[in-house]
Structure 1
Amino acid sequence: MERTELIEECPEVSRIALASAGRNRDLWLAAFALDGRIGRMVLGASEPMLGQMRLAWWRDQFGQPVTKRPEGDPLLDLIGRKWEGGESALRELVDGWEALLSPRPLSGTDRASFIAGRASLARALADRAGSPSAAREAQCAGTLWALADLAIHAQEPGERSAALDDAVEFAQDSLRLPRSLRPLSVIGGLARRSLRLGGCPLVGDRLSPFIALRLGLFGR
């Protein structure tokens, strides 16, 4: 039951990517569910201060030893089992999402913080999934993922155009990631497509299921 609840916390693109996770599924599930929960806190916050308070709780938990954290939250418990020692990347993810609580339009610094949070998570996933040599390419996938979300969730035209401009250098070539990082191939590939199409949703159109299937099977 806990796994089902956590899967439901993942954004749709992350749930699709989980199908390619293999033996490290819980590692990916913890990362994607955290990203989904934090993202909903930020995007659904009626007041920035309330969102910041909720994010501060998570940041505090990642600063404590696993044995000092409260028990009973399936996500926090899974993070304790699968991400012990890698919490710095999770804190950067939280920091990145917090930047989106800034006044709009987002500044270049705010956008860079969000991108850095997703890129840091992707690098940490490469390391913890046993493919540290692919960290740079994983970081590129995380950057594409962040830029696509910045374009999709833009609240002003300038935000969308800034994300698309920043994506030019990253969206030229297909990602080349090892099999152990196939979920990043799926998300990064769909994000690259989204950006090349002007910031369309990562999934939901007629072709996206077939592209996701191809990425899951072959990586590109």
Structure 2
Amino acid sequence: MRDRDLVRLYWPVELRPAFDALFGIDDALAEVVVTSTQPALGAIRLAWWREALTRLDASPPPPEPRLHAVAAELHSRGITGARVAELEDGWVTLLDEEPNLERVAGRGTRLFAMAAQLLGGSDELIDVAGRLYAYGTVRRRGLGPMHRSTEELHQLVGHHFPRRLRPLTGLARLAARDVKQAPKLEPEATPGRAAALLSHRLFGIVV
């Protein structure tokens, strides 16, 4: 079981397919980076995803299940393929000799903005939570050392996210836990992580 499986349980049942569609694309982009032995070829594969997602706004999806899911679950909720395609920028920079951390963080803010739209909620610090999550996932994918995220943690201390957003911001709660335990990397979906998600569900606090 993954952390994502635990978090998904907190999403409204009717929105779980949309959750799967959005995060499934993020996973697909991540897998390209993880499995690419040559940066140039990895960039080409990522460009295919970016272009295929953008084309969804004007054409039927090709025979790729994750693209079909975007068309079926996200378009109807006002999230375009072009907007989902913007996630690619935060992954492709990891193929550079010196990745741009702002672009990595930008992927998190875009991902959380779309997920928050699905949940119908907003918060002034949702972008900060997204940045924290982005840094954490890069570390968990083995794509770089844990960014200490000092600024993000400081901004989130004591902040209560609204209940409507907690099925999403629980991911930031787990990322904060990872930062505090670095360089140790805790296994996913442990009882401790499940308890952290439950605490966040009740109180809405990330740090």
One fold, TM greater than 0.5?
Answer: yes
Question: Cα deviation per residue 1:99-146 (whole Å; 9 max; x = unaligned)?
Answer: 11112xx34xx1111110111111122123211x32x32212211111
1:126 equivalent in structure 2: 116
Long gaps (5+) in structure 1:
1-10
2:64 equivalent in structure 1: 73
1:91 equivalent in structure 2: 85
1:59 equivalent in structure 2: 50
TM-score (norm 2): 0.82
- 1:128 alignment partner AA: L
- Determine if the alignment matches structure 1 residue 26 to structure 2 residue 17: yes
- CA–CA distance in 1 between the matches of 2:34 and 2:159? 28
Question: Cα deviation per residue 1:146-182 (whole Å; 9 max; x = unaligned)?
Answer: 12234445667xx54xx11xx1121131553333322
Match of 2:180 among 173, 177, 196: 196
1:39 equivalent in structure 2: 30
1:169 equivalent in structure 2: 151
How far is the alpha carbon of 1:14 from its aligned partner? 1.9
How far is the alpha carbon of 1:65 from its aligned partner? 3.9
**Cα RMSD over matched residues?**
2.5
Query: Any residues of structure 2 matched to 1:168-187 within 5 Å, and which?
Result: 168-172=150-154, 173-187=157-171
Change (3 A) 1:183 1:201: farther
How far is the alpha carbon of 1:199 from its aligned partner? 4.6
- CA–CA distance in 2 between the matches of 1:38 and 1:75? 11
Question: Cα deviation per residue 1:181-220 (whole Å; 9 max; x = unaligned)?
Answer: 2232211100011112225436355622322333345534
1:5 equivalent in structure 2: none
Q: Give the total of aligned pairs.
A: 198
Change (3 A) 1:204 1:127: closer
Asked if the contact 1:21/1:180 (under 8 Å) is kept, the reply is no
1:4 equivalent in structure 2: none
Change (3 A) 1:52 1:155: closer
- CA–CA distance in 1 between the matches of 2:119 and 2:191? 32
Asked if the contact 1:148/1:195 (under 8 Å) is kept, the reply is yes
- 1:184 alignment partner AA: L
Asked if the contact 1:86/1:124 (under 8 Å) is kept, the reply is no
Question: Cα deviation per residue 1:70-123 (whole Å; 9 max; x = unaligned)?
Answer: 3432211110122224334322211111111112xx34xx11111101111111
Q: Aligned residues: percent identity? A: 23
- Determine if the alignment matches structure 1 residue 138 to structure 2 residue 112: no
- Determine if the alignment matches structure 1 residue 17 to structure 2 residue 27: no
Equivalent position SS for 2:151: coil
- CA–CA distance in 1 between the matches of 2:183 and 2:131? 14
Change (3 A) 1:17 1:71: same
2:199 equivalent in structure 1: 214
Change (3 A) 1:200 1:190: farther
2:95 equivalent in structure 1: 101
Asked if the contact 1:119/1:139 (under 8 Å) is kept, the reply is yes
Asked if the contact 1:129/1:180 (under 8 Å) is kept, the reply is yes
